[in-house]
Amino acid sequence: MTIERAGVIGCGLMGSGIAEVLARAGLSVVVRDINDDAVAAGRKRIEKSFAKGVERGKMTEQERDEALGRLTFTTELSEMADRQLVIEAASENEDIKKKIFAELDAIVTDEQAILASNTSSMPIIRFAQATSRPERVLGLHFFNPAPVQPLVEIISSVVTAPEVADEIEKFSTEVLGKTPIRSDDRPGFIVNALLIPFLFSAIRMLESGHATKEDIDTGMVNGCAHPMGPIKLADMVGLDTCLFVGQSIYEETGDPAAKPPILLSRMVDGGLLGAKTGKGFYDW
């Protein structure tokens, strides 16, 4: 199957980035969110990123216009009917995601279509089991900012057909130009299983008064050549996302390193979610 028609569910931070990657790769993309405001915000985010892409010489104005022309925004899930690949990037809520998979299963007509989740850490098997085609469900996890980060994780559940994962690996490399890695369906997959304990250690260091956020970040940027320090990265990922991912890994593994720091929970309760709300550990 040549994948030419894709769908993205959710156009928040990750969904809009994924939609942009697909449109830039030449696919027709239908992007769905739950209401007009969410759709308008997603469209604005993509347009802003395209403008940055042009400004940085990553695409011409003509390529930008063509890519924008391949994107359709909607609030109707039914518009996913003719899609060959649908990537779910809704909020990290298991019940919401399961419902979306069940609905997509009823809507997407092509039996060969592939249904993927961009979840950061939730078990793919639970979404697969919400459908009547669990062998065609897998995890396809992008990294923020999706148009810039080369990596995708491909996660097979215990029932994903090997040829489905192989097809997505080929598509990720040859069509999207990404670097795929494969993971078992384990909490946090590969990257977040390593990243979340690291971010949480940095937040605990700050919480305990061990060092300032600036010094923690400068330490990792200038001492270990990280592109940004862990406190700033937590802000960029979204403190709510860091919390959900940590909770989900901790719930299954009991690993204390993945237990969310109290300061993180308090900040999320206080609506300080990082870059997306303009305020987190830093002002954005």
Annotated binding site for NAD(+): 10-15, 33, 92, 97, 120, 144, 276
CB of 243 vs ligand 3HC, minimal distance in Å:
11
Residue type, 262: I
Q: Which is nearer to ligand 3HC, 133 or 141 (CB)?
A: 141
Say which residues have a Cβ less than 8 Å from residue 194's Cβ, sequence separation at least 6: 188
Rounded-to-integer distance, Cα 153 and Cα 180, Å: 6
Residue 174 sits at φ, ψ, to 5 deg, of: -80, -35
The H-or-E segment that residue 213 falls in is helix 213-224
**201 catalytic residue (yes or no):** no
In DSSP terms, 21 is beta-bridged to none
**Segment interacting with ligand 3HC (CB under 6 A) among 95-103, 177-185, 200-208, 226-234:** 226-234
Q: Which is nearer to ligand 3HC, 29 or 77 (CB)?
A: 29
Q: Which is nearer to ligand 3HC, 108 or 236 (CB)?
A: 236
CB of 241 vs ligand 3HC, minimal distance in Å:
5
- Site for ligand 3HC, residues 185 to 214, rule: CB under 6 A: 192, 195
**Segment interacting with ligand 3HC (CB under 6 A) among 35-43, 69-77, 125-133, 140-148:** 140-148
Angle, helices 239-253/262-269, rounded to nearest 10 degrees:
130
Give me the catalytic one of 141, 156, 167, 172: 141
- Site for ligand 3HC, residues 29 to 58, rule: CB under 6 A: 49, 52-53, 56, 58
> What single DSSP character describes residue 131?
S
CB of 118 vs ligand 3HC, minimal distance in Å:
8
Sheet-wide strand order for 85-88: 71-74, 28-32, 5-9, 85-88, 114-117, 137-142, 151-156, 179-184
Rounded-to-integer distance, Cα 50 and Cα 39, Å: 17
- Site for ligand 3HC, residues 99 to 138, rule: CB under 6 A: 120
Q: Which residues are annotated as catalytic? A: 120, 141, 153, 192
